[in-house]
Structure 1
Amino acid sequence: MKRLAFSLSATLALTTSVWADNSDLLIIGNSDPGMLQRLTGTADFEGIETAFEERGAEVSLSIRADGDAMRDAFRGFANGLDATTSDIGVLLTGRFVSTIAGTYLLPNGMDAPTLAEVLTDGFPLDTVYAVAAEYPGQALIVLGEVDGEGDVPDGLSATVPLNDIPQGVTVAIGPAGDAARFVSRLSMATGEDILPLARAEGLSLTGFVPRTLPLFAGTDVTLPQITPDVPNDRSVEDATAWDRAVAADTEAGYDTYLAAFPEGRFAGEARQRLATIRSEPFYREKQVESDLALSRDARREIQRDLSLLGYNTRGIDGIFGRGTRGAVTAWQTANGLTASGYLGADQIARLDAQAERRAAELEEEARQRQAQLERQDRTFWSETGAQGDEAGFRAYLKRFPDGIYAEDAQDRLEAIEDQRRAQAEGEDRRRWQIARETDTEAGYRAYLAERPNGAFVEEARARIDYFANNSEQIALQDRAQSDEAALGLNAAARRLAEARLADLGLKPGAVDGTFDKDARRAIRRYQDARKLRVSGYLDQATVVRLMADTILR
Structure 2
Amino acid sequence: MMKRFTSTTIAAVMAGLIGSTTWAADTALLIGNERYQSLPRASDGIAAVNSKQTFQRLGFKVITAQDTSASKIETSLSALIDQAESTDQVAIVLTGHFVVSGETTWFLMADARTPSLANLSRHAVPLSLIFDIAARHSGNVLVALGAASNPAPTSQGIVAGIGIIDPPQGVTVLTGTSGELSNFLNQEVLKEGVVIAKAVRDSRMSVYGHGFLPETAFVATEVAPTPVVNEKLERERAYWQFANDLGTLEAYQAYLKSYPRGIFATNARREITFIKDAPERNAEIAEKALNLTRTERRKIQSDLTLLGYNTRGIDGLFGAGTRGALTNWQADAGFAKTGFINQEQLVSLNAQALKRSKQLEEETRKREVLLRRQDRSYWQETGKSGTEKGLRSYLKRYPDGAFSDVANERLSAILQEKRDRVAKRERSIWDQTLAANNLVSYNQYLNEFPNGSFVEEAKSRIATLQGANSEQIEAARIEESKLGLAPVTFLLVEQKLTKLGFEPGRIDGKLSEETRRAIRRFQRAANLPVTGYLSRSTVVRLIAAN
TM-score (norm 1): 0.55
Paired amino acid for 1:503: K
Structure 1 residue 442, shift from structure 2 partner:
2.1
Instruction: Find 2:386's aligned residue among 376, 385, 388.
Output: 388
Q: Distance in 2 between matches of 1:296 and 1:197?
A: 31
> 1:540 corresponds to which residue?
536
Post-superposition CA distance 1:508-547 (Å, at most 9, x none)? 0111111111100100010111111111000000000111
Partner residue, 2:522: 526
Q: Is 1:349 the counterpart of 2:259 in the alignment?
A: no
Cα 1:452–1:271, aligned 2, differ >3 Å: closer, same or farther?
Answer: farther
**1:324 alignment partner AA:** T
Cα distance in structure 2, aligned partners of 1:256 and 1:349 = 37
| Aligned 8 A contact 2:176 2:207 in 1 | no
Q: Provide the C-alpha distance between the structure 1 equivalents of 2:530 and 2:390, rounded to a whole number of angstroms.
A: 25
Query: By how many angstroms is 1:410 displaced?
Result: 1.2
Alpha-carbon shift at residue 256 of structure 1 (Å) = 4.1
- Say if 2:126 is the partner of 1:241: yes
Q: 1:501 aligns with which of 492, 497, 502?
A: 497
**In the TM superposition, what whole-angstrom CA distance separates every residue of 1:79-120 from its partner, at most 9, and x where no partner exists?**
xxxxxxxxxxxxxxxxxxxxxxxxxxxxxxxxxxxxxxxxxx
Q: For residues 373 and 407 of structure 1, do their structure 2 counterparts lie closer, same or farther at Cα, with a shift above 3 Å needed?
A: same
How many angstroms apart in 2 are the aligned matches of 1:263 and 1:385? 82
Q: How far did 1:375 drift?
A: 1.0
Q: Determine the C-alpha separation between the residues in 2 that align with 1:485 and 1:279.
A: 45
CA-CA distance at 1:427 after TM superposition: 2.2
Structure 2 partner of 1:474: 470
- Distance in 2 (CA, whole Å) between partners of 1:477 and 1:264 is 56
Shift of 1:365: 0.9
* 1:237 Cα offset (Å): 7.5
Q: 1:513 to 1:343 in 2, by over 3 A?
A: same
The answer to whether the 8 A contact 1:197-1:226 is kept is no
Partner of 1:318: 316
Contact 2:480–2:533 (Cα < 8 Å) also in 1: yes
Q: Structure 1: how far apart are the matches of 2:392 and 2:501?
A: 25
For each residue in 1:364-407, what CA deviation from the matched residue of structure 2 results, as whole angstroms up to 9, or x when unmatched? 11111111111111111011111111111101011111111011
Distance 1:254 1:418, change over 3 A: same
Residues 256-271 of structure 1 correspond to what in structure 2 (within 5 A)? 256=166, 260=173, 262=175
Compared CA separation, residues 262 and 373, structure 1 to 2 (3 A): closer
Counterpart among 508, 513, 528 of residue 512 in structure 1:
508
Instruction: Assess if the C-alpha contact under 8 Å between 1:196 and 1:226 holds in 2.
Output: no
Give the whole-Å Cα distance in 1 for the aligned partners of 2:428 and 2:207: 81
One-letter code of the match for 2:483?
L
Q: Give, in whole Å, the separation in 2 of the partners of 1:329 and 1:266.
A: 37
Opposite residue 506 of structure 2, the aligned amino acid is A
User: What are the Cα deviations for residues 126-184 of structure 1, in whole angstroms up to 9, with x where unaligned?
Assistant: xxxxxxxxxxxxxxxxxxxxxxxxxxxxxxxxxxxxxxxxxxxxxxxxxxxxxxxx9xx
Q: 1:228 touches 1:265 (CA, 8 Å); kept in 2?
A: no
SS in structure 1 opposite 2:490? helix
Q: 1:461 to 1:262 in 2, by over 3 A?
A: closer
Work out the CA distance in 1 between the residues paired with 2:46 and 2:454: 82
Structure 2 residue corresponding to 1:195, chosen from 15, 40, 48: 40
Alignment of 1:423-462 (within 5 A): 423-462=421-460
The corresponding residue for 1:119 is none
Identity, % of aligned positions: 38
Deviation, structure 1 residue 323 = 1.0
Structure 1 spans left out of the alignment, 5+ residues: 1-181, 203-224
Aligned length: 336
Give 3-state SS (helix, strand or coil) of 2:165's partner: helix
What SS is found at the alignment partner of 1:310?
coil
Q: Which whole-Å CA distance do the structure 2 matches of 1:237 and 1:251 have between them? A: 9
Structure 1 letter corresponding to 2:126: A
Match 1:329 to one of 324, 327, 330: 327
The alignment's TM-score, normalised by the length of structure 2, stands at 0.55
Contact 2:311 2:324 survives alignment (8 Å):
yes
Q: Distance in 2 between matches of 1:504 and 1:379?
A: 22
Judging changes above 3 Å, is the alpha-carbon distance between structure 1 residues 242 and 300 closer, same or farther for their aligned structure 2 residues? farther
Q: Is 1:492 paired with 2:488?
A: yes
How far residue 430 of structure 1 moved from its aligned partner, in angstroms, is 2.4
Conserved in 1, the CA contact under 8 Å of 2:175 and 2:207? no
Q: What is residue 257 of structure 2 aligned with on the other side?
A: none
